[in-house]
Chain A
Amino acid sequence: MALVTASRRLAQVSLRGYSRRTAAASGAWLSAQRSFTAGIQPLRSDNKVTIHFINRDGQKISVKGSPGDSLLDVVINEDLDFDGFGACEGTLACSTCHLIFDEDVYKKLGEVTDEEMDMLDLAYGLTETSRLGCQVCLTKSLEGIVARVPESVADIRQSQDGSS
């Protein structure tokens, strides 16, 4: 019964979100399984992907993530302190995980769904090569890419929502 309820809740999230949350769930499950025997160990993986973030001060921060992680997952897991990043926790309900890429990198990132585009349209400082970090998942082919955190995290709905 609880599994049905839990999976119904998972199903309410978009498909991408579903696979991301099950990844988190199984990750936690596996971590906990190991903890019964050997203390808590992170999942070992030899196929890490290096990515570089450029923060709002222009500093380059190089980190590693695992294939399948979204860029938001990487920001969180690596404790990268971008103010206000990921407010809705990766559920396509805001635009605060907005990242900007070079054109050649942007082309490698894959198709953008209407859902993502709808939220991206509200991002402050939107460009032709913008994506939401929670929707871009790492693969080996993205080794060494650079993602820039743009100036501000404001949604533009403040100007679109009618005005006094």
Chain B
Amino acid sequence: MSSHRLLFSGLWTIGRTRWISRLHEGKHGCGRAFFSSGKPKVCIVGGGPAGFYTAQHLIKACQDAEVDIYERLPVPFGLVRFGVAPDHPEVKNVINTFTQTAKQSGCSFYGNVNVGKDVSIQELQQAYHAVVLSYGAEGNRTMGVPGEDLAGVYSAKDFVGWYNGLPNCQQLRPDLSCETAVILGQGNVALDIARILLSPVDVLKKTDITQPALEALTKSQIRRVLIVGRRGPAQIACTIKEVREMVNLPDTRPEMVAADFQGLREVVKDLPRPRKRLTELMLKTALETPGEKEQERRNKASRVWAFRFFRSPVEILANPDNNRAAGIRLAVNKLEGSGEGAQAVLTGEVEDVACGLVISSIGYKSLPIDPSVPFDSRKAIVPNNMGRVQQAAGLYCSGWLKTGPTGVIATTMNNSFDTARSLVEDMDSGMLDVSAAKPGSQNISGLLEKRGVIPVIFSDWEKIDSVEISRGEATGKPREKLLSVEEMLQVTRQ
């Protein structure tokens, strides 16, 4: 049996690794000759998908470039590790391509380095020919309503960070002993959270969800999740795959308000195909009488999920002791206009909903890193032109910091490739001067050492990766994530 184990899983891994290698190794003839005294050196701030995709493209286009990725946490991959839902492991396959990139000879990963605290942007600009800011969006948009600070109210970013093992969200310990949870926002993040709150534990326990989250969800009393949006079904921001997952979620039934769908059937046929199919699925779920088998399944279901439309939060209502959320007051809206551009307008009516958990899923938000780096605080992005930071030579940006915090991994990929292309163009045209040699990581390593900062290199991450995978094996999970920076660093020192 054990020899079979080695052969089967080993060969499967070998075959798959070869397949993956060929998928990701581009044989690209885009090398250029640099008439310079040294290699072009580029520094990337942020080790998530934007950082890795930017690095991938740069290394392919400039075979003698040295690309260094700096990441605040000891572990790489950003939202691919901490944002993608635990029950969506295929989406995380991009980690294989990032791993390939990190192992290219021109690429180095330096984790556990806090740019802004351990080393400044100016110091990086002095050491490198170009600096690419790819540090994403670690803040979130607030609802701006009274009661937002009560216990039981969380941002989606923190809630997702909690169940995905983000170290600084481990203190969240949300109380799941209430019956109803209300999620504000109807994007894919909101649907992920609803699905995780309502999924059977038997499904969750085979994923890489953290152990504390799994225990909390096992004890959870939540039986009803309302997913609330300002506008109507035709404006919903999530995509069809996620809605279908809710419709098919075991032991749950949908609860929609038929009136919310008034007039929609007539306009559906003229919508573009993606919007049409999504709206048709919702219409079917909301209005059609289910077949006998489905009706039986719904009758037996112990949990409920619902979309609520035309509602905006105005206040979180507290319990009698005034220390926890006990409900939410929602303003009733009506729509002006139609289609994607329709606006929600207050009607003056309000509605109170009793609930013990409120999650605000209305968007992430980027934060400024340094006063010397231009920042548009209205849009919460670094102002740029195709990735070139405005009025800042040698400074570039990619990912959500460049375009705002929407889009999936593939969007970020394209966005990062574009920034890398701009950078390469600038090197080619001389707009970015790479003729003088720059010290790159040599200088930065020296600075970090003096400051007592020990970077975590990629092979150190692989130790953490190994430990997580082997701990996961004990419980039938793909991995058991380490939940603190201290523990991660401890493992790297072994």
Would B405 and A164 count as touching, CB distance under 8 A?
yes
Chain B residues positioned under 8 Å from A159 (CB to CB): 406
Q: A29-B11, A118-B241, A126-B273 are in contact. Are A96 and B410 (CB under 8 A)?
A: yes
Residues 47-86 of chain A: 1 if any B CB is under 8 Å from the residue's CB, otherwise 0? 0000000000000000000000000000011010101101
Would A158 and B411 count as touching, CB distance under 8 A?
yes
Would A164 and B406 count as touching, CB distance under 8 A?
yes
Residues 31-53 of chain B: 1 if any A CB is under 8 Å from the residue's CB, otherwise 0? 00000000000000000000000
Cα–Cα distance between A28 and B8 once the two chains are bound (Å): 10
Chain A nearest Cβ from B81, distance in angstroms: 15
Chain B nearest Cβ from A132, distance in angstroms: 12
Q: A118-B244, A157-B407 are in contact. Are A89 and B93 (CB under 8 A)?
A: yes
Would B187 and A161 count as touching, CB distance under 8 A?
yes
Residues 89-104 of chain B: 1 if any A CB is under 8 Å from the residue's CB, otherwise 0? 1110110110000000
Would B4 and A2 count as touching, CB distance under 8 A?
yes
**Residues of B within 8 A of A (CB-CB), count:** 61
Q: Which residue of B lies closest to A28 (CB)?
A: B15
Q: Which residue of A lies closest to B278 (CB)?
A: A121
Cα–Cα distance between A92 and B23 once the two chains are bound (Å): 16
Q: A117-B277, A121-B277, A157-B188 are in contact. Are A84 and B93 (CB under 8 A)?
A: no
Would A3 and B14 count as touching, CB distance under 8 A?
no
Cα–Cα distance between A164 and B362 once the two chains are bound (Å): 9
Chain A nearest Cβ from B343, distance in angstroms: 13
Contact residue among A93, A155, A160 (Cβ-Cβ distance under 8 Å from B237):
A160
Which B residues from 5 to 24 make CB contacts under 8 A with A? 5, 7-9, 11-12, 14-16, 18-20, 22-23
Q: Is B379 an interface residue (CB 8 A)?
A: yes
Chain B nearest Cβ from A75, distance in angstroms: 8
Chain A residues positioned under 8 Å from B9 (CB to CB): 2, 6
Would A27 and B5 count as touching, CB distance under 8 A?
no
Contact residue among A77, A87, A154, A158 (Cβ-Cβ distance under 8 Å from B22):
A77
Q: Which residue of A lies closest to B381 (CB)?
A: A164
Q: Is A114 an interface residue (CB 8 A)?
A: yes
Would A28 and B410 count as touching, CB distance under 8 A?
no
Chain A residues positioned under 8 Å from B406 (CB to CB): 157-159, 161-164
Q: Is B363 an interface residue (CB 8 A)?
A: yes
Which B residues from 202 to 237 make CB contacts under 8 A with A? 237
Q: Which residue of A lies closest to B229 (CB)?
A: A162
Chain B nearest Cβ from A9, distance in angstroms: 8
Chain B residues positioned under 8 Å from A164 (CB to CB): 141, 363, 365, 379-380, 404-406
Chain B residues positioned under 8 Å from A2 (CB to CB): 1, 4-5, 8-9
Q: Which residue of B lies closest to A127 (CB)?
A: B273
Residues 405-420 of chain B: 1 if any A CB is under 8 Å from the residue's CB, otherwise 0? 1111111011001000
Q: Is B26 an interface residue (CB 8 A)?
A: yes
Would B410 and A153 count as touching, CB distance under 8 A?
yes
Would A157 and B408 count as touching, CB distance under 8 A?
yes
Would B11 and A79 count as touching, CB distance under 8 A?
no
Residues 140-159 of chain B: 1 if any A CB is under 8 Å from the residue's CB, otherwise 0? 01000000000000000000
Chain B residues positioned under 8 Å from A121 (CB to CB): 239-240, 273-274, 277-278
Chain A residues positioned under 8 Å from B333 (CB to CB): none
Residues 381-418 of chain B: 1 if any A CB is under 8 Å from the residue's CB, otherwise 0? 00000000000000000000001111111110110010
Extra pairs beyond A31-B15, A77-B22, A162-B406 (8, CB < 8 Å)? A13-B90, A89-B20, A92-B90, A118-B239, A122-B408, A158-B406, A161-B407, A163-B406
Residues of A within 8 A of B (CB): 1-3, 5-6, 12-13, 21, 24-25, 27-29, 31-32, 76-77, 79, 81, 83-84, 86-89, 91-96, 114-115, 117-119, 121-122, 126, 152-164
